[in-house]
Amino acid sequence: MNRVVVTGMGVVSPLGNDIAATFDALVAMRSAIRRLEGPGTERLVNRLGAPVMFDPQPHFDAAKLRMLDRVSQLALFTAAQAVRAAGDPFADPARAGVSIGTGMAGAQSADDAYRTLYADRSDRLKPFTVLLAMNNAPASWIGLEYGLTGPNLTYSTACSSSAVAIGEAARRIERGEADVMIAGGAEACLNFGTLKAWEALRTLAVEDASDASASCKPFAKDRSGLVLGEGAAMLVLESRERALARGATILAEIAGYGLVTDATHITRPSVEGQAAAIRAALADARMDAQDIRYINAHGTGTQANDGVETAAIKQVFGAQAYKVPVSSTKSMHGHLLGAAGALEMAISIEAIARGVAPPTRNLRVADPECDLDYVSDGAREVKGLDAVMSSSFAFGGTNAVLIVKNS
Amino acid sequence: MTVLERLTALLERDFGIPKASLDADATLESLDIDSLRLIEIVFAVEEEFKVAMPQDQGEIRGRVKTLGDLAELIGELAAK
The pLDDT tens digits of the residues spanning A200-238 come to: 999 999 999 999 999 999 999 999 999 999 999 999 999
Q: A208, A223, A245: which is the final residue of a domain?
A: A245
Identify the closest residue of chain B to A222 by CA–CA distance.
B58
In this prediction the ipTM stands at 0.84
Is the residue at A196 inside a domain?
A: yes
Are B26 and B32 a contacting pair, CB within 8 Å? no
Q: pTM to 2 decimals? A: 0.96
| Eight-class DSSP state of A390 | E
Q: Are residues A341 and A387 in the same domain?
A: yes
- Chain A closest CA to B24's CA: distance in Å? 25
- pLDDT tens for A103-126 read 999 999 999 999 999 999 999 999
Strand-pair partners of A10: A234
What CATH number does residue B14 fall under? 1.10.1200.10
Of B35, B42, B43, the CB nearest to A267: B35
Name the residue range of residue B45's domain: 3-79
Q: Provide, as residue numbers in chain B, all residues whose Cβ is less than 8 Å from the Cβ of A200.
A: 39, 43
Query: How far off is chain A from B42, nearest CA to CA, in Å?
Result: 10
pLDDT of A187 above 90: yes
d(CA A364, CA A352): 26
Give the DSSP letter of residue A178. -
Q: Is the pLDDT of residue A39 over 90?
A: no
**For A370-398, what is each residue's pLDDT tens digit?**
999 999 999 999 999 999 999 999 999 99
Mean pLDDT of A305-319: 98
User: Is pLDDT above 90 for B80?
Assistant: no
List, in sequence order, every residue forming a beta bridge with A335; answer none if it has no partner.
A228
Residue A20 lies in a domain: yes
Q: Tell me, yes or no, whether A231 and A129 share the same domain.
A: yes
Q: With respect to residue A348, please indicate whether it lies within any of the assigned structural domains.
A: yes
Centre a 10 Å sphere on the Cβ of residue A395 and count the other Cβ atoms it contains.
Answer: 18
Question: Number of folded domains in chain B?
Answer: 1
A298 is catalytic: yes
Chain A hits for B34, Cβ within 8 Å: 265, 268
A46:B42 CB<8 A: no
Question: What amino acid occupies position A71?
Answer: V
- The verdict on A146 and A288 lying in the same domain is no
**By percentage, how much of chain B surpasses pLDDT 70?**
100
- A280 and A202 in one domain? no
Query: Which residues from chain A sit within 8 angstroms of residue B36, using beta carbons?
Result: 266-267
Q: Determine whether A333 is an active site residue.
A: no
pLDDT at residue number A202: 94
Residue A335 annotated to the active site: yes
The domain of A65 spans 4-245
Please name the helix (run of DSSP H) or strand (run of DSSP E) that holds residue A388, with its range, or none: strand A387-393
Interface test with A, best of B34, B57, B63 (most A CBs within 10 A): B57
Whether A200 has its CB under 8 Å from any CB of chain B: the answer is: yes
Answer with the one of A245, A276, A303 that is the final residue of a domain: A245
Q: What angle do CA A210, A48, A138 make, to 5 degrees?
A: 150
Output the pLDDT for position A113. Answer: 97
Boundary of a domain, candidates A245, A265, A283: A245
A98 and A223 together in one domain: yes
3-state SS, residue A49: strand
R_g of chain A, CA atoms, integer Å: 20
Write down the mean pLDDT value for chain A.
97
Structural domain total, chain A:
2
> With bands split at pLDDT 50, 70 and 90, how would you rate the model's confidence at B1?
confident
A265 lies within 8 A of chain B by CB = yes
Q: Are residues A217 and A319 in the same domain?
A: no
Q: How many Cβ atoms sit within 10 Å of the Cβ of residue A318?
A: 11
Inspect the interface and report whether the beta carbons of A46 and B56 lie closer than 8 Å.
no
Cα–Cα distance, A32 to A25 (Å, whole number): 9
Q: How far apart are CA A60 and CA A40, in angstroms?
A: 28
> Which of A202, A226, A395 should we substitute to test contact with B (largest number of B Cβ atoms within 10 Å)?
A202
Residue A15 has pLDDT above 90, yes or no: yes
| Run of H or E including A311 | helix A303-317
